[in-house]
Amino acid sequence: MEECCICNSSKVKKILKINGFDVFKCAECGVLYTFPLPSDKELMSYYQGFLFDEPKLNKVKASVKKRIKELQKCFSLESSVKNKSLSFLDYGGGTGTAFAAAKELGLDSYYYDIDNESILFVKENFGLDDLEFIVDSSLKDKKFDYIWSDNVIEHVKNPIEFTNVLYSALESGGKLVIKTPQASNTETCFVFALSVMFYFKNALKENSFFDSLMAVTKHRFWHCEPPRHLYSFSKNSIAKIVKKCGIPDHQLQISDYYLPFFRYSIVDFLKFIKRPLVQIVLGLILSPFIILEFFLIVIRKLLSYAGLIKGTGLTITITK
């Protein structure tokens, strides 16, 4: 790969191999990307139900409530927008919590996804009907007032085309919100379970100890995990994509989002243990680590409130 697929700079370097795919980093725009990209056939078979982690029904309601608040904040919505016939699209909606939240807010809500198991789940649990289900990914001849795409752009082969499709389907005066993990963010450095136990461990499988160490310390390669995540975007690379789509700079806003307090912590892990006795015993054994981890979380949170570390993800808002 001689030039960056986002900004066309020649300052690109292969940093490591993950799951048999080469991961590159662009020194100019900061994007991490997979080259060569997997074939459509490889991706299609990878996505059919493989990633779908069916949530417990009691958690679904809580997720929808959280989503309502998130959508209200991101789209500056009132608590109820009934009778205004504004449309909302959850693009790559997965479990459909945003689709359901928008419906509860009184929006004319639509849903698109490629995974059949996800689609079935949304039909069964959120009453998705044929009129609300968008079949065509190109969104041809469709217009929406609000478009929401949460952690999808990093999965697609062509993020420029993806942004173009969503922007073209946006009504004039509408708002598009795209969420995605942030390339080389510093927040993940504070999360031991991710930076060391997951990413560093994974890198060691196909790379030397030195290359793996550089990948987590210098490049902070998290979130570019082919064939799942084909990219990990920096703010600069998003600005380049938006420019290539012909969207004026003043219509774009990018902000960091940070992890919830206990996410990926030992306490979070203990919640998954079903037997209370095992949970208590393990909690007692791990208590010194829990205390240490708690301090690390407090430091992480203080640094994030002060804006001194880069957040795990980006919230990209594009108006029209």
Q: Are 193 and 199 in contact (CB under 8 A)?
A: no
| 159: preceding bond cis by omega (within 30 degrees) | no
Q: Which of residues 5-64 bind Zn ion (CB under 5 A)?
A: 6-7, 9, 26, 28-29
- Nearer CB in complex with Zn ion: 26/77: 26
- Nearer CB in complex with Zn ion: 95/232: 232
Please choose, from the candidates 142, 161, 155, the residue with its C-alpha nearest in 3D space to the C-alpha of residue 88: 142
Minimum CB distance to Zn ion, residue 9 (Å): 5
Q: Which of residues 180-209 bind Zn ion (CB under 5 A)?
A: none
Residues 6+ apart with CB under 8 A from 235: 30, 182, 254, 314
As given in the structure block, the two tokens for residue 305 are 């409130």
Residue 87 binds to Zn ion (criterion: CB under 5 A): no
Size of the site for Zn ion (CB under 5 A): 7
- Nearer CB in complex with Zn ion: 94/226: 226
Residue 171 binds to Zn ion (criterion: CB under 5 A): no
Q: Are 266 and 293 in contact (CB under 8 A)?
A: yes
Minimum CB distance to Zn ion, residue 243 (Å): 12
Minimum CB distance to Zn ion, residue 291 (Å): 42
- Nearer CB in complex with Zn ion: 112/222: 222
The C-alpha atoms of residue 317 and residue 142 are separated, in whole angstroms, by 20
Minimum CB distance to Zn ion, residue 128 (Å): 38
Q: Which of residues 88-117 bind Zn ion (CB under 5 A)?
A: none
Minimum CB distance to Zn ion, residue 37 (Å): 16
- Residue 90: beta bridge partners? 111, 148
- Nearer CB in complex with Zn ion: 3/268: 3
Minimum CB distance to Zn ion, residue 247 (Å): 18
Minimum CB distance to Zn ion, residue 11 (Å): 7
Strand-pair category, 87-91 with 108-112: parallel
- Nearer CB in complex with Zn ion: 16/238: 238
Minimum CB distance to Zn ion, residue 28 (Å): 5
Determine the Cα angle at 221 with ends 220 and 222, to 5°: 95
- Nearer CB in complex with Zn ion: 7/64: 7
Long-range contacts at 189-196 (CB < 8 A, ≥ 24 apart): 189/220, 190/296, 190/297, 190/299, 190/300, 190/309, 191/259, 191/263, 191/264, 191/265, 191/300, 192/293, 192/296, 193/264, 193/265, 193/269, 194/222, 194/264, 195/222
- Nearer CB in complex with Zn ion: 28/206: 28
- Name the helix (H) or strand (E) containing 304: helix 287-305
The C-alpha atoms of residue 272 and residue 274 are separated, in whole angstroms, by 6
Q: Are 23 and 226 in contact (CB under 8 A)?
A: yes
- Binding residue for Zn ion, selected from 4, 134, 178, 297, defined by CB under 5 A: 4
The C-alpha atoms of residue 158 and residue 178 are separated, in whole angstroms, by 15
* Binding residues for Zn ion (CB under 5 A): 4, 6-7, 9, 26, 28-29
